[in-house]
Amino acid sequence: MAGTVKLEKLGKPGVFINCTTFDDDAKSASADNGIPTLRRVKISSQEFYKLRGKVETVRPLVESVFDDIINALTKPLTPEEANPSQDMVEQEDQVEVSVTAESYPAAAEEFNRIFLENRWGDGLPLVPPTPERVKWMLSGTKRSPDEALGKINPKQGAATIEKIAINAVMAGAKPEYLPVIIAVIEALTDENFDDLHILASAGSFNLLTVVSGPIAEEIGMESGIGFMGHGWRPNNTIGRAIRLSTLNIGQTWPGKNDMALTGRISPHTFFTFCENADFSPWEPYHASRGFKADESCVTVGSVHGESQLNHFYGGMIGTWTAEGVLDRMVEDLVRTDRRGYFMWGTKGVGKYLGSGGGAMNHMIILFPELVVELEKMGFDQKGLQDEIYKRTAIPYDDLTPAERKSIQTAIELGVIPADRKAVFAEALKPGGKVPVLISPENLHFFVAGGAPGCAFSFNYYRIPPYNRTALMTKRITGATLTKAGSA
Amino acid sequence: MSENKVELKLLNPRGVIEAQPMSAPNPRIADLVGKRIGLYWNSKPGMDNFYKVFEELLKEKYPTATTTLLRGAFLIRDDDAETWLPQIDTFVYGVGD
Amino acid sequence: MSEKVKLEVLNPRGVVEAKQANAPAPRLTDLAGKRVGLYHNGKPGLDNFFTVFEELLKNKYPTVKTNLIRGSFEITDKDAEAWAPQIDTFVYGVGD
């Protein structure tokens, strides 16, 4: 939709074709982008997805909408189309909502009913965000409630500290968690972060949030057995606060403008956990991103939905060695990332070269015992990145002609960045070995879990469809109730 | 009946959206005779097949119309838009999914 | 001073029927000449553990006999009935 609006704003009349499932989304997006009466022609989702594979099969569908498309291009605008109402984007004028009932339980039930009907909740019972409770929540940060961090897609709602606190109350969080939640929202609203794809795409993408540094222990996050599961108030309510903040501040709703077709696994909390600093011999993850090891940070990353969690075993699942787990990681990375070679030689699906396909970022969770063994083998994070990068490279002679051509095109187009061109140019010769990753830095290691543990990974596009990055680390600041994160 | 009602005052969790001025779409061209129609393919699978049929039907109805197919990003890139727009009189953009 | 609010809430936990607590069976006085059963519940690596255990056991008790069986996580009634008469004591592993 935004592309159609861009062309219209450049003075050209046109029409947007959208599938019926996405019609509410298209209508909403046309208003969000400033041309609410933009002309659209709907095509049946049921028919398009089934028939689009061949010209002969899609023909009846095209014939059925042909006249509609021509009319959209040529019939003069109606007075209503030519003079769109300035009220066509919903605004939230209410600062406060009041609920009155015979008793507290009745009032709490009524509050939940109203909030869910308004699409201000996530389907689970909420904690009422009374002014007193929000003030209590704000005691966890020294930052001003009016401070605006940025905007959240798709509706570009303003993320203020107060709005985040309101959603944190609703999630059942405590004030000492608020600086962590704020840091996550800082990442999502960063001008370079693509929050639109993860919040709105049909692909049911998910959000990974990893807390590292001393604040995790101070606020009682669990990093051992069950670290990604239920039961831990900080892990779960931080994740829920992020979910509610994006839902409410960005104003999304399933099937309306959050088009995740299956919904997300762990939908109420995303994937939220912390590194296990006690048992890891390595520096925390954020130290590899240029932060000081004794600082506290959050790392926020979009990840593929349910199809892309890769399991490398370890722990109790079978007898394991570090070398064996490493072999499985290498084998899996080669298998999944080689499939993407064909997209390297295209500009991609977004503004930045190589976006939305081709090379990936991998977020790999290693259990502490494994890291101890890797350390004995001589690997720190950087060493392991380099080792896996080397081992996953495919011999030039094993590549198909199409793969070689795609990589060559990627070099020429600039999809492979300038600082990596020489590596690939050198590899793309008989006897060479061609990496499946652009850089060793596309491997990100987080240490979490108990004993026994498991190693597994998520992945996502190195460059997302709608912005520069979907993986970012932010320092936690402004904390008043913990020593960590207070600076 | 109890005289003591409970009142809960609750803050709105929704983000405020900055109002932006709404614009109208561009005036339509009167008809497609002799016109240049741009077909923008946002790379979603199947739209190429859709456009092949559309082009055939278009040329049957408007033999003097010409078409230019452009395949690009989900959201058309600025450089693509700048190059393409002077070559067309109107466009179809698809597919929203 | 504001009035206190009292919330009376009900316990959400399921009631568990109390079971009678029994003592383990009396121990053997020593293992010389005894039949020691080794139960392997199928978890990887326990076979290696039991291999070493048997060596150490036979070093210490040369007249001991061992009887290794491998079965399901929880020994079936049939296996238990067949095995119990063949042993004087047992080691069951591994809980993970």
Nearest CA in chain A to B25: A38
> Closest Cα partner for A234 from A413, A476, A20?
A476
Is A in contact with C (3 or more beta carbon pairs below 8 Å)? yes
- Min distance A316 CA to chain C CA atoms (Å): 7
Residue B80 predicted with pLDDT over 90: yes
Angle (CA) B54-A12-A65 rounded to 5° is: 25
Asked if residue C28 is part of any domain, the answer here is no
The H or E element spanning position A360 is: strand A360-366
Residue B40 φ/ψ, nearest 5 degrees: -95, 125
Is C in contact with B (3 or more beta carbon pairs below 8 Å)? no
Asked if residue C83 is part of any domain, the answer here is yes
Residues of chain C with Cβ-Cβ distance to A319 below 8 Å are 44-45, 48
Say whether the ipTM exceeds 0.90: no
Residues of chain C with Cβ-Cβ distance to A451 below 8 Å are none
Best mutation target among A24, A73, A155 (most B Cβ atoms within 10 Å) is: A73
| Contact between chains at A319 and C45 (C-beta distance less than 8 A) | yes
User: How many domains is chain B partitioned into structurally?
Assistant: 1
> Rounded mean pLDDT of chain B?
93
Tokens in use for C12? Answer: 């959400």
* CA atoms of A480 and A485, how far apart (whole Å): 8
Asked if residue C23 is part of any domain, the answer here is no
Asked if residue B85 is part of any domain, the answer here is yes
State pLDDT tens for residues A328-368: 999 999 999 999 999 999 988 988 989 987 799 999 999 99
Asked if residue C24 is part of any domain, the answer here is no
Helix, strand, coil % in chain A, rounded to nearest 5:
40, 15, 40
List Cβ neighbours of A285 (8 Å cut-off, separation of 6 or more): A210, A212, A275, A297, A299, A381, A444, A445, A446, A447, A473
Angle (CA) A265-A448-A443 rounded to 5° is: 80
| Segment C17-30 mean pLDDT | 84
All chains having 3 or more CB pairs closer than 8 angstroms to chain C: A
List Cβ neighbours of B79 (8 Å cut-off, separation of 6 or more): none
The dihedral formed by the CA atoms of C48, C50, C51 and C55, expressed in degrees to the nearest 10: 140
List Cβ neighbours of A163 (8 Å cut-off, separation of 6 or more): A157, A245, A248, A249, B13, B14, B15
| Contact between chains at A89 and B75 (C-beta distance less than 8 A) | no
Residues of chain C with Cβ-Cβ distance to A104 below 8 Å are 5
> Closest Cα partner for A361 from A438, A466, A454?
A438
State pLDDT tens for residues A374-416: 999 999 999 999 999 999 999 999 999 999 999 999 999 999 9
Domain housing B55: 36-94
Asked if residue C68 is part of any domain, the answer here is yes
- What is the predicted pLDDT for the residue at A93? 61
Asked if residue B84 is part of any domain, the answer here is yes
Residue A136 φ/ψ, nearest 5 degrees: -60, -45
Asked if residue C4 is part of any domain, the answer here is no
Asked if residue B16 is part of any domain, the answer here is no
Asked if residue C27 is part of any domain, the answer here is no
Residues (pLDDT < 70) of chain A are: 88-93, 306-308, 316-317
Residue A72 φ/ψ, nearest 5 degrees: -65, -30
Residue whose token pair is 């009035």:
C3
The better pLDDT of the pair C6, B87 is held by: B87
Asked if residue B72 is part of any domain, the answer here is yes
* Residue A131, SS3 per DSSP: helix
Model pTM score: 0.91
The A residues from 295 to 324 touching C (CB cutoff 8 Å) are 316-319
Phi-psi bin for C45: left (phi > 0), alpha (psi -120 to 50), beta? left
Domain housing C87: 35-93
Q: Is the dihedral of CA C9, C14, C17, C20 positive or negative?
A: negative
- Min distance C35 CA to chain A CA atoms (Å): 29
Flag whether residue B32 sits within 8 Å of chain A, measured between CB atoms: yes
Q: Which residues pair with A355 in a beta bridge?
A: A348
User: How many domains is chain C partitioned into structurally?
Assistant: 1
Asked if residue C26 is part of any domain, the answer here is no
- Min distance C7 CA to chain A CA atoms (Å): 10
- Min distance A140 CA to chain C CA atoms (Å): 24
Residues of chain A with Cβ-Cβ distance to B45 below 8 Å are 52
Asked if residue B15 is part of any domain, the answer here is no
Kindly indicate the confidence band of residue C1, based on its pLDDT and cuts at 50, 70 and 90.
Answer: very low
